[in-house]
Amino acid sequence: MKIDLENLTIRKAHEHLLKGDFSAVELSEVYLKNIEAHNKNINAYLEVFDDVATQAKETQKIIENKKGTILTGIPIAVKDNILIQRKRASSASKILEGYTATYDATVIKKLKSAGAVFLGRTNMDEFAMGGSTENSAFGPTKNPHDVSRVPGGSSGGSAAALAMDGALAALGSDTGGSIRQPAAFCGLVGLKPTYGAVSRYGLMAMASSLDQIGPFGKTVEDAEILFNAIKGHDPMDSTSVPDEIAKRNNEVSIKMTIGVPKDILDSPGIDALVLKNFNEEIAKLKGKGYSIKEISLPHAHFALSVYYIIMPAEASTNLARFDGVRYGLSKKGGTPFDDYAKTRGEGFGREVRRRILLGTYVLSSGYYDAYYNKAWSLRNLIGKDFEHAFNEVDIIATPTTPTPAFKIGEKNNDPLAMYLADVFTVPANLIGIPALSIPSGTVDRDGKKLPLGLQLMAPHFREDILFSVGKSIF
């Protein structure tokens, strides 16, 4: 049978594989042909693995022996900062060009056990620092809906791979919106799980108190299937939460109430059509029987400022390990200090250097208390605001992004404008709650239909509520 990639979902593919309508090998071949046809223009993949056919043959045997899972034989794309043993992983940086992973990330182990087929590693903003995938050392990724525009970032390669039908699902990482923003820009579903719900072991750390691995899918169910496969406690990750705690949270009943935070929606810079689209989505939810309640998050307008203090501070600390001594790029100078300076100066891109400098500054003597400690105090206040809100509502809804996808190069000389694109997404990372972006229609720009996203946020470990509400409207 002809494989209809545009309308294929994980469940549909699984059913076809079980029936024998096509094999795992045939499915992977179709995706490889599509990648060959489109990737030169889109630059979603940095590398397509040379063992895809071998992987697919092995999973086909499992399917024929009726021992597979719903993910057996399903072709998946993986962000370049998630380790796959014996595969290269560069985090889209010259400083790690040629580095080969020596072990599997926990999420990769889980997906291997489930029988997934890994197609390749996808492009990203270098070390996940950016919101457009323009900061990659290996060139920008383009949005399949309009190649003159960005796909979002930092997981833009994973989103573009899925949007161009170059994978059936994908993994990304989300530190301040890096799954949800590309999902919105590319017309996909993207989930940032609860902090601690998915192991970070084998993820190259950017900001350790914010990072989470999560799924991209074409549908809410696809994202749910992938999330269920990768979630769970991992003793290799000290921030991983025991399963019994996560389960305890899921026993709380819900009231079918959606909260709308007017204090965030009144932020400057929100596109009028994005706001109109959001109000239409809220009306849809009301039509589905949900109660809509206006809520207040009095400290939420500080979230972006707090994020851009804490994130660079943690990033500057985490990236200190890339010194040219143990692995990756190594440049020689006259002294050991010169070696470090030359290696890091040539190996790191402009945005990474900028954030290292910012982070080092806010952690320096005399500024630590003035910036970093105050940011943490505000982070706690923002968390309390959300905690109070979730006593009244089950879900908090916002647009995912303040604008549709912007032009490539449009914000390159204005870092603050780029950072403002995270205004709706960073609160979920700061307080560790799960957040889901689902497609919410399109707007017309320059003769192209550009996707928009609706963001739903829930209390800790209540991804189940997000999936339930998401399925009801998409």
Q: Which residue has the tokens 């560069």?
A: 90
* Crossing angle of the two packed helices 52-64 and 24-42, in degrees rounded to 10: 150
CB 169 within 8 A of CB 162: yes
Q: Would you call 240 a catalytic residue per the annotation?
A: no
CB 131 within 8 A of CB 155: no
Calculate ∠ Cα 208-404-427, nearest 5°: 30
Calculate ∠ Cα 145-216-198, nearest 5°: 155
Which position among 154, 155, 158, 199 bears the catalytic label? 154
Calculate ∠ Cα 148-149-155, nearest 5°: 135
Closest Cα partner for 406 from 372, 450, 368, 362?
450
DSSP, collapsed to helix, strand or coil, labels residue 203 as strand
- Can you tell me the distance from the alpha carbon of 118 to that of 426, in angstroms, rounded to the nearest whole number? 29
Which residues have C-beta within 8 Å of that of residue 168, sequence separation ≥ 6?
A: 8, 9, 10, 13, 31, 74, 75, 76, 162, 218, 222
The secondary structure of residue 452, as a DSSP letter, is E
Q: Would you call 79 a catalytic residue per the annotation?
A: yes
Which position among 178, 199, 437, 440 bears the catalytic label? 178
Which position among 23, 28, 79, 240 bears the catalytic label? 79
Enzyme catalytic residues: 79, 154, 178
